[in-house]
């Protein structure tokens, strides 16, 4: 499993840039980003190479930040592999709360970051079905 940060930002001009500036100024590499908005604020989910340091620095800069675990699954870059993964999850009676993707390295398969109602079971079931589940060390 990997660690991700959920950063609460106001829906205003420059708010996302303030987050990325904190990361840039502290040599923290942003690997993935997804934004989920509401009328007042957005939840910015990020995967970085140094999650503990990023959480501390963002908190010091006035952001509300929560660290959590997620499952990052490497998919084959071909039609139907996401569908296959989602069926493995559904057939195991697990609910996907959210999902987003990113490419960790050029030329590599995409990683799908998923949050389910049981992360440990999800990672185990996916591994048993031949999926590669990334670990935090892979984010460096």
Same domain, 60 and 37: yes
Count the Cβ atoms, other than its own, within 10 Å of residue 38. Answer: 8
Tell me the C-alpha distance between 122 and 1, whole Å.
10
Same domain, 41 and 77: no
Instruction: Dihedral sign for Cα 50, 52, 53, 58, please.
Output: positive
Tell me the C-alpha distance between 24 and 129, whole Å.
38
Same domain, 76 and 126: yes
> What confidence tens digit (pLDDT) does each residue in 9-39 have?
998 889 999 999 999 999 999 999 998 877 7
Instruction: Tell me how far CA of residue 39 lies from CA of 9, 36, 73, 130, in angstroms.
Output: 11, 10, 31, 41
Same domain, 38 and 83: no
Among 18, 41, 69, the domain boundary falls at 69
Same domain, 84 and 45: no
> What confidence tens digit (pLDDT) does each residue in 72-116 have?
999 988 899 999 999 999 999 999 999 998 877 666 778 899 999
Same domain, 15 and 30: yes
Q: 56: domain range?
A: 2-69
Range with top average pLDDT, 50-59, 101-110, 131-140: 50-59
Determine if the pTM surpasses 0.85.
Answer: yes
CATH classification at residue 31: 3.30.2130.10
């Amino acid at each position: 499993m990997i660690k991700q940060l959920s950063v609460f930002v106001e829906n205003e001009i420059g708010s996302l840039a303030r987050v990325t500036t904190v990361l840039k100024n502290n040599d923290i590499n942003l690997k993935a980003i997804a934004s989920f908005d509401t009328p007042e604020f957005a939840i910015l989910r990020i995967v970085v190479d140094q999650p503990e340091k990023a959480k501390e620095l963002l908190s010091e800069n006035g952001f509300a930040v929560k660290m959590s675990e997620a499952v990052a699954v490497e998919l084959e870059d071909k039609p139907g592999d996401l569908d296959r993964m989602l069926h493995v999850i559904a057939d195991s009676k697990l609910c996907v709360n959210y999902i987003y993707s990113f490419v960790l390295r050029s030329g590599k398969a995409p990683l799908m970051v998923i949050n389910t109602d049981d992360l440990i079971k999800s990672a185990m079931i996916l591994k048993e079905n031949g999926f590669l589940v990334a670990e935090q060390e892979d984010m460096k």
